[in-house]
Structure 1
Amino acid sequence: MAESTRVAQQVMWNRLISIVEEQAQALVRTAFSTSVREAGDLSAGVYDGEGRMLAQAVTGTPGHVNAMADAVGHFMRRIGVATMAEGDVYLTNDPWEGTGHKHDITVVTPVFVYGKLVGFFACTAHVTDIGGRGFGADADDVHEEGLALPIMRLMDRGEVDGTLMALIRANVREPDQLVGDIFALASCNGIGQRRLTEMMAEFGLADLTDIAAFILTSSREATIARIAALPRGSADGHMAIDGYSVPVDLRVRVTIEADRIVTDWAGTSGLDPKGINVPLVYTKAYACYALKCAVAPEIPNNAGSLSPFEITAPEDCIVNARPPAPVALRHVIGHMVPDTVFDALDKLIPDLVPAEGAGCLCNFQLSLRPRTDAPAPTDAVRAEVLTFNSGGSGARPGLDGMNATAFPSGVMTMPVEATEQVGPVIVWRKELRPDSGGAGRRRGGLGQFMEVGAREGHEFDISAMLDRIDHPARGRRGGADGAPTSIGRDDGVAMRGKGRQRVPHGRVVRMAFPGGGGYGAPSERAEAEVRRDLMLGYISAETARDVHGWDEAAIAAALEAAARGEET
């Protein structure tokens, strides 16, 4: 291949990445749901005419985009390529042919140039409500978890399916919000479509065949080269987590071969009766993400760079759930997949991967209504408020863990102001949780304290989606465990980490989100870093004394320096 041709194809590859990033940012700006606008719980990508992902947006979550990598092939099969036309837009929330649960809606738009189908744009967003029991783990099968939207046409040659819109509106609690999100998804695909058409005209392309071959071949070869440089071998990883009512064991065997890495989930717990089961497409998404982070983080995500990673799991284990298993909270288990893979990788490639972190997002949804124990004010309303929050990430071999940062999902914590403006919610407290990061040569990231209630005249149900209550994040190579999760009411009533629970009028829910595990022995932590932690309030005087061996005089001096506003 001539050097000039390679340069041109690299320019086009970069252009595709910028196009899908613009696509994603358009979705952020136009979406109705705070989970998209504020938390970035979305994905966007461009595909060739064979349905292979060529580029993904940086904005978004690996659970969405890596799962969405397989989705376009399902759309092509279900809709029928021969029936596709300009102006068509398709959608689904099928957990097994989309991104793992009904609360994610995937929209796919075919791209035509000079009347010829050349590719597709796809995007996904998490929606606040899809009907049914609402977002939570309480369903006994997938049919209870909300409205099912099989792969179907949203628009047929530019004409919106009015019957579909009527059915959606009749089955959800927040119809304007949901319909607004669906049209935002379709619109952002339209932006990608226009930018791609402009690029193809600029470079004189009749189709994407050559650029697709360049992207996919280059990415695959680069990833295989990274794998080939690793030591060969197999190792087992294990993690025990809370589950719904009984603990869940995640077990994986990671095998590094010359040109691929295989993860086999044999031995993992079976299906749970409640909605924490994971379709295999979502397990694949996060297992691939873990391997990409560890082995080839600089290589862009596409079908080529993902292909050397192979994931297998026994049918009807908790990470390969089949219909009609309930799967609404598949992320609670799925977000633990990377740390389980890392447990195995640490035995094969020491000093590469971080300690365990909080793993799953610390989510909850409030279903608010006028109080029922006494007359409610006339301005009391019903509302559904979903908020995403994070514990701490695990310490890395050379760096502390990140405070209140979602790994592996990358979903952002929702600001208090955004949460309170969508419903009658009051966030009484939201702050970092001192001493929650596991001690070590590198400290685990801190979790958060959070206290929430309803405005006067309202009561609510809270659907908790938490973990790490009984199984905190483990430290690595001598590092201490992170602090566990806790949840309860301000009147001392204990609450469950998962499930829908009623909160009476006037009561507040108090939550402490988990910290990440430490890395290396705490005795190896540099004195200057302990001093900085103490001055910033990341650790208490007791931790400085009991864990790091500081005397009272040194502690007092550091705290006095912090009070004077000295630099850490």
Structure 2
Amino acid sequence: MDARNAIDLQIMWNRLIAVVGEQAQVLIRTAFSPIVRECEDISAGIFDLRGRMIAQAVTGTPGHVNSMAESVGHFLRHFPIETMKEGDAYITNDPWMGTGHLNDFVITTPAFLRGRLVGLFSCTSHLMDIGGLGNGPEATDVLMEGLSIPMLKLIDQGRVNETLMAMIRANTRLPVDTEGDTYSLAACNDVGVRALRAMMDEFGIDTLEPLADFIITRSRAAVLEKIAALPRGCWSYEMTVDGYDAPLPLRARLRVDEAGVTVDYAGTAPAVSRGINVPLAYTRAYTVFGLACAIAPDVPNNAGSLSAYHVTAPAGCVLNAQRPAPVSSRHIVGQMLPDMVFGCLRTPLPDRVPAEGTSCLWNIAVRGEWVPPGAAAPLAFALAITTNGGTGARPGLDGLSATAFPSGVHGTPVEIAEIQCPLIFWRKEFRPGSGGDGETRGGLGQVMEIGTLDARPFDLLAAFDRIDHPPRGAQGGADGAPGCLRTASGRRLAGKGLHVVAADERVVVMTPGGGGLGDPAARTAARRQADRTGGYV
């Protein structure tokens, strides 16, 4: 390949990232659900005709992006390339072929240029309610968790499958929002198709194949070069999480060799009877994200860079749950996996990995009925208020406070939550002293006190962790503060399960702090003073 051709391909690669960025922004701006509009709980990307992800939008969660990378291959098995027509779109929310639970819809759309199929756009977003028991861990199988959509054609050459849309509307407590979010997903793919056509016309190309091969080959080579500089060997790590009825041990063994990096979760606890189990695609998604953060953070995420990482877990364990296991709250365990990866890498790469953090989102999932201003009758509401704890301390840097890592989603603004439902936040503030002490300190959690102005009770679908087993410090650092869920009167509530909150009660949510890193005695006097001045301790 001559230098000019390589430069042209690099420019087109950058433009392709801009195309999927536009695709993602359309999804965010047109979505009905606040968790998409405000928190960007999405993924968007473009794939070649072999189902390889060649570019992803810079926004989006690793759980969505990296499991969506696998889902397009499942779409191609059900809808072969030769059967696709211009104007088609396909949909599923199958947890084992999508992104891990039923609340995520995945839509894939073929892109045509002058009558010829040139690529595929895919996207995912979280929908607030798809029926069943709701977005909590209470179900004992996936059939109880809500509407299940197998691989189906949503749009056939421009004509919407009205029967399917009627089924979707009939199986949700929020029919307007759910229908709107479905169309939002389809619309963002259509915008991606138009932007791709414009790009290909501008550069005078009629196929993406040379560009796809360039992206994937260069990305894989860049990751393998990073891996070649690592020490060879095997390292292990263990973590205990709260689980549902009993603590769950997670075990990982990481191997670095000439073929890449392999993470095996043999020895991890079996799947449980409640919905905190994790499909393997979601396990892979967060594991490879952790590997990428530590090993090759500057290499773009695509099929090439992902191909250097390999993830296995025994069938039937909590990280490779088999159908029909309940999986609604799969993020509780799945988002711990970057910490597992970092724990394995702490010996060979001590200057690159942080201490344990809160890791799993502390989403405050609520539902009930209320009478909004101007409404003549009570309306249903269902909302996931995204909140976060502290991240682990980093080499040379303190952890981040009330920050979502590894998911990357934004916290739901209080103002948005309060106009979507009758809840009111009486308090939302940092939790002083919650970050683990160390040479670098863990990030702070937060404290929220939540009640209702409506004379009605509401349901809290609790799905919280790090209460009995807080984030651990490393290299002599102290543990972060454990999470806590209680009423304002002091009654402790279980971290997982359905709680009915009376109209005159308030719930207090205290998210965990991140673990500290290094000997606390080595923390500088200037940092100690900054902690006191800033109210961190």
Under a length normalisation based on structure 2, what TM-score does the superposition of the two structures give? Answer: 0.98
> 1:10 corresponds to which residue?
10
Does residue 114 (structure 1) correspond to residue 114 (structure 2)? The answer is: yes
Quote the residue 1:526 is aligned against. 524
State the alpha-carbon separation in 2 of the partners of residues 379 and 394 from structure 1. 47
Q: Report the alpha carbon displacement of residue 115 of structure 1 after superposing the two structures with TM.
A: 1.6
**Superposed displacement of residue 354, structure 1:** 0.2
> Percentage identity across aligned positions?
51
2-structure distance, mates of 1:511, 1:252: 31
Q: 1:393 aligns with which of 383, 391, 394?
A: 391
Q: Take 2:352 and 2:179, find their aligned partners in 1: how far apart are those partners?
A: 44
Q: Give the C-alpha shift of residue 418 in structure 1.
A: 0.7
Give the secondary-structure state (helix, strand or coil) at the position aligned to 1:255. Answer: strand
Report what 2:135 is aligned to.
135
SS in 2 for 1:176: helix
Residue correspondence of structure 1 range 312-331 to structure 2 within 5 A: 312-331=312-331
CA drift at 1:351: 2.1
Deviations along 1:447-492, one digit per CA (max 9) or x if unpaired, are 0001111223121110011101000000010110000000111222
For 1:4, the aligned partner's letter is: R
Amino acid at match of 1:305: S
User: What whole-Å deviation, never above 9, does each CA across 1:296-324 have from its counterpart, x for those lacking one?
Assistant: 00000000000010001100000001100
- Give 1:107-186 correspondences, 5 Å limit: 107-186=107-186
Residue 367 of structure 1, CA deviation: 1.3
Q: TM-score, normalised by structure 1?
A: 0.93
Q: Offset of 1:380 from its aligned partner?
A: 4.8
Corresponding residue number in structure 2 for 1:467: 465
Residue type at the aligned position of 1:50: R
SS at match of 1:389: coil
Aligned to 1:438: 436
The AA in structure 1 aligned to 2:452 is A
Q: Work out whether 1:235 is the aligned partner of 2:210.
A: no
For 1:484-499, what aligned pairs fall within 5 Å after superposition?
Answer: 484-499=482-497
What's 1:33 paired with?
33
Q: Which amino acid aligns with 2:326?
A: P
Q: How far off is 1:135 after superposition? A: 0.3
Describe the superposition over 1:225-265 as per-residue Cα deviations: whole angstroms up to 9, x where unpaired.
00000000001111101011111111000000123000000
| C-alpha deviation, 1:49, in angstroms | 1.1
TM-superposed deviation, 1:382: 2.8
What is the distance in 1 between the residues matched to 2:404 and 2:248? 21
8 Å CA contact 1:365–1:386 kept in 2: the answer is yes
Contact 1:239 / 1:249 at 8 angstroms: preserved in 2? yes
Structure 1: which amino acid aligns with 2:319? V
Shift of 1:81: 2.1
Tell whether the 8 Å contact from 2:370 to 2:381 is kept in structure 1 after alignment.
no
Q: Deviations over 1:72-107 (max 9, x none)?
A: 111111123222100001111000000000000011
Q: Distance in 2 between matches of 1:272 and 1:49?
A: 38
Residue in 2 that maps onto 1:406:
404
Which amino acid in structure 2 is aligned with residue 181 of structure 1?
D
Work out the CA distance in 2 between the residues paired with 1:242 and 1:273: 14
Report which stretch shifted further, 79-88 or 43-52. Answer: 79-88
Q: Could you report, residue by residue, the CA deviation over 1:328-371 in whole angstroms, capped at 9, with x for unpaired residues?
A: 00000000011011111112222220000001001121112369
1:28-427 to structure 2, matched below 5 A, reads 28-369=28-369, 380-427=378-425
CA contact (8 A) 1:137 1:275 kept: yes
**How far does residue 511 in structure 1 lie from its aligned partner after superposition?**
1.1
Deviation at 1:500, TM superposition (A): 1.1
Deviation at 1:405, TM superposition (A): 0.4
Preserved CA contact (<8 Å) 1:43 1:60: yes
Contact in 1 for aligned 2:174/2:380 (Cα 8 Å): no
Q: 1:88 to 1:12 in 2, by over 3 A?
A: same
Which residue matches 1:551? none
1:495-553 Cα distance to aligned partner (Å, 9 max, x none): 110111111121010111000000111111111111111111111xxxxxxxxxxxxxx
Matched pairs, number: 534
Summarize deviations over 1:394-434 as a string: whole Å, max 9, x none: 00011100010011110111100011111111111111100
Preserved CA contact (<8 Å) 1:370 1:459:
no
Q: Name the CA distance, whole Å, in 2 between partners of 1:183 and 1:33.
A: 12
Asked if the contact 2:370–2:422 (Cα under 8 Å) also holds between the matched residues in 1, the reply is no
Residue of structure 2 in register with 1:511 after alignment: 509
Question: Partners in 1 of 2:219 and 2:410 — Cα distance?
Answer: 28
1:103 alignment partner AA:
N
Tell me which amino acid in the other structure corresponds to 2:339: D
Q: Aligned to 1:510, what secondary structure does the other structure show? A: strand
Q: RMSD of the TM alignment (CA)?
A: 1.2
Which amino acid in the other structure matches residue 511 of structure 1? V
1:113-147 deviation digits (Å, cap 9, x = unpaired): 12221110001000100100000000000000000
Contact 1:469 1:485 in 2 (8 A): yes
Instruction: Find the structure with the greater CA-based Rg.
Output: 1
For 1:479, the equivalent position in structure 2 comes to: 477
Mapped contact 1:424–1:455 kept (Cα < 8 A): yes
Secondary structure, counterpart of 2:202 in structure 1: helix
Aligned twin of 1:19: 19
| SS of alignment partner, residue 75 of structure 1 | helix
Partner Cα separation in structure 2 for residue 177 and residue 513 of structure 1: 29
Cα contact 1:381–1:424 (8 A) shared by 2: no
2:508 alignment partner AA: R
- Contact kept, 8 Å, 1:368 with 1:454, in 2: the verdict is no
> Retained in 1: the 8 A contact 2:262–2:310?
yes
Note if contact 2:370-2:454 (Cα within 8 Å) is conserved in structure 1: no
Letter in 1 for 2:383: V
> Which range moved further: 289-298 or 527-536?
527-536
Partner of 1:552: none
Which amino acid is the alignment partner of residue 177 of structure 2? Answer: Q
SS of alignment partner, residue 74 of structure 1: helix
Partner SS state of residue 477, structure 1: coil
Q: CA deviation at 1:277?
A: 0.3
Aligned 8 A contact 1:276 1:326 in 2: yes
Aligned equivalents of 1:519 and 1:492: distance in 2? 32
- Which of the numbers 422, 444, 447 marks the counterpart of 2:445? 447
2-structure distance, mates of 1:378, 1:494: 37
